[in-house]
A = this chain, B = another copy of it.
Amino acid sequence: MELAPYRARIEVKLKPGYIDPEGETARKALVELRYDVKRVGTAKVYELDFMASSIEDAKKQVEEMCRKLLSNPVKDDYVFEVKELK
């Protein structure tokens, strides 16, 4: 099976209702700098270059990588897009 390079962009963020301590820390620091900031939410982006046999295989791999390693299924939501690198 021939492999080709693919690129995925994955965004992982806390599910609604979870407190975001990093965002809250940033908010407090911005308020101390006199900005009128009401809320800060954070998310993590991963850009992955990897090998797969087809776009379907690539999406399946990314789904697995998100579930196994890149997100915490209990508290995180993730979205991703995948494209072939020509």
Contacts and interface: CB of A to CB of B under 8 A. Distances in A.
A82 interface: no
Interface of A is mostly: strand
B29 A51 contact: no
Question: Which 8 A-B pairs have CB atoms at the shortest separation, nearest pair first?
Answer: A36-B51, A43-B45, A41-B47, A39-B49, A37-B50, A38-B49, A40-B48, A29-B69
Interface of A: 3, 5, 11, 13, 23, 26-27, 29-30, 33, 35-52, 61, 65, 68-70
Given A30-B69, A42-B45, A44-B45, 18 more contacts: A3-B36, A23-B47, A26-B46, A26-B70, A27-B48, A29-B69, A33-B68, A35-B50, A35-B61, A35-B65, A36-B51, A38-B49, A39-B49, A40-B47, A40-B48, A41-B46, A43-B45, A44-B44
